[in-house]
């Protein structure tokens, strides 16, 4: 719900005019957003992901065609694309899943066209550092909306817990400043930062977690423009 109702709209707006463009979806998972993009008047969308299983799933969910292609690629390694090949790169909720991200950001700069833009979303660092998910059941059903923040400034990694379940994914918490530094190190300039929240009308919701989402952003979305090295 958060993804479809909040994130997609913001990301699509930041991508802007897609007409005739070649787009990379980096960390595309099972490919649903690559498919959304390829249904527009783009030239081509290439979805890449490090997971063999997810790329297999993407290919079976959304058969490849002249506008849509998937391949297995590890974003920690150099990518098999030409310099300046893409007009835009989108990376949805993937950069907080691996470390380090320097090679990915440097490669994004290399394969983007001179006017190209990188748009990426991550789980907001408010959510990757602390207490919210640990106590999510309590919070949804019993407690008034609140959020406790700890360990914000120092990057760290942890297994992802949600609703009492530990997931296989390792989440890398990094403060916003970290992303800003890596981007400028690799010749990107940030043109927009967005922190999508649900509309205030959601305050009517009985679910405290949803209520809280009108004030505390779930996602951080950054648009960065390529500059010459």
Ligand X SMILES: C[S@@+](CC[C@H](N)C(=O)[O-])C[C@H]1O[C@@H](n2cnc3c(N)ncnc32)[C@H](O)[C@@H]1O
> Interface with ligand X by CB under 6 A: which residues?
27-29, 32-33, 49-51, 54, 74-76, 92-94, 97-98
As given in the structure block, the two tokens for residue 199 are 């509309």
Least spacing, CB of residue 27 vs ligand X, in Å = 3
Tell me the closest approach of the beta carbon of residue 8 to ligand X, in angstroms. 9
For residue 116, whether the previous peptide bond is cis, meaning omega lies within 30 degrees of 0, is: no
Output 98 or 178, the one with its CB closest to ligand X: 98
- Give the list of residues 6+ apart from residue 112 with CB closer than 8 angstroms, or none: 84, 86, 87, 88, 89, 118, 226
Tell me which residue of 157, 137, 155 sits closest to 207, measured CA to CA: 137
Shortest CB 109 distance to ligand X, Å: 17
Place of tokens 């490090």: 50
The residue number with the shortest CB distance to ligand X is: 29
Residue 212, number of CB atoms within 10 A of its CB: 22
User: Residue 99 or residue 177: which is nearer to ligand X going by CB?
Assistant: 99
DSSP string computed for 77-99: S--S--TT-EEEEEEES-GGGSS
Contact 172, 121 (CB under 8 A): no
Nearer to ligand X, 188 or 219 (CB): 219
Q: Of the two residues 8 and 187, which places its CB atom closer to ligand X in the complex?
A: 8
Token pair for 219: 């996602």
Nearer CB in complex with ligand X: 32/178? 32
CB of 135 to ligand X, least distance (A): 22
Least distance to ligand X, CB of residue 198, Å? 18
């Amino acid at each position: 719900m958060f993804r479809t109702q909040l994130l997609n709209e913001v990301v699509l707006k930041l991508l802007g005019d897609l007409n005739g463009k070649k787009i990379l979806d980096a960390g595309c998972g099972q490919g649903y957003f690559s498919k959304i993009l390829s249904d527009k008047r783009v030239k081509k969308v290439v979805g890449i992901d490090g997971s063999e299983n997810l790329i297999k799933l993407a290919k079976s969910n959304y058969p490849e065609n002249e506008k849509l292609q998937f391949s297995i690629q590890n974003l920690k390694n150099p990518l098999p694309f030409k310099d300046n090949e893409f007009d835009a790169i989108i990376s949805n909720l993937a950069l907080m899943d691996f470390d380090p991200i320097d090679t990915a950001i440097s490669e994004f700069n290399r394969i983007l066209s001179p006017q190209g833009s990188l748009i990426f979303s991550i789980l907001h660092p408010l959510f990757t550092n602390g207490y919210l998910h640990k106590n999510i059941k309590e919070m949804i059903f019993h407690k008034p909306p609140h959020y406790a923040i700890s360990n914000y400034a120092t990057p760290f990694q942890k297994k992802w817990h949600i609703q009492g379940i530990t997931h296989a994914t390792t989440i890398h918490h990094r403060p916003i400043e970290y992303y800003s530094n890596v981007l400028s190190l690799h010749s990107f300039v940030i043109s927009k930062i967005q922190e999508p929240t649900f509309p205030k009308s959601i305050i009517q919701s009985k679910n405290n977690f949803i209520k809280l989402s009108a004030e505390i952003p779930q996602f951080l979305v950054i648009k960065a423009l390529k500059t010459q090295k």
